[in-house]
Amino acid sequence: MSIGHAGASPALADQLKDPAYSAFLLLRTVFTIAPIAFGLDKFFNLLTHPHHWNMYLAGWMDKLVPGTADQCMYVVGVVEIAAGVLVAVAPRIGAWVVAAWLAAIIFDLVTGPGFYDVALRDFGLLVGAVALGRLAQGVHDGSVGRT
């Protein structure tokens, strides 16, 4: 039982009874951890070993940005880490940043290296980020997570 005055936020256990709030927490957690993990891996290339992340960079984009493809991936890593942190602290904004970032990645993948399977997967992630954005707005407005 939650102790407090009228209008106080319900206890987490009560909030978790709301399926939309549970979905919000799950998506917020995933869209915090995944971008940070993928961003960090841009510096270590553990997930793509023995290759490097730059294999996903479209040739035209590599020619467009200054520096090497690996240096571009370092910038990508920093952006992904920042996006994950933003989802953690401000999911109403961070979710839309992640969705936009995923749209840019999809554009890169379908116009360059031809990783259409990865682009399709990222489209599914983009839809999840949009769902997080909508749920985060509901949490902010108080229509999600109130019992």
Enumerate the domain spans of the chain. Answer: 19-141
pTM of the model: 0.87
- Helical packing angle, 19-44 and 116-141, nearest 10°: 130
Q: Give the torsion sign (CA, 88, 91, 94, 95).
A: positive
State the Cα–Cα distance between residues 94 and 98, nearest whole angstrom: 6
* Residues 2-41: tens digit of each pLDDT: 444 445 567 877 788 889 999 999 999 999 999 999 999 9
Residue with tokens 């399926």: 19
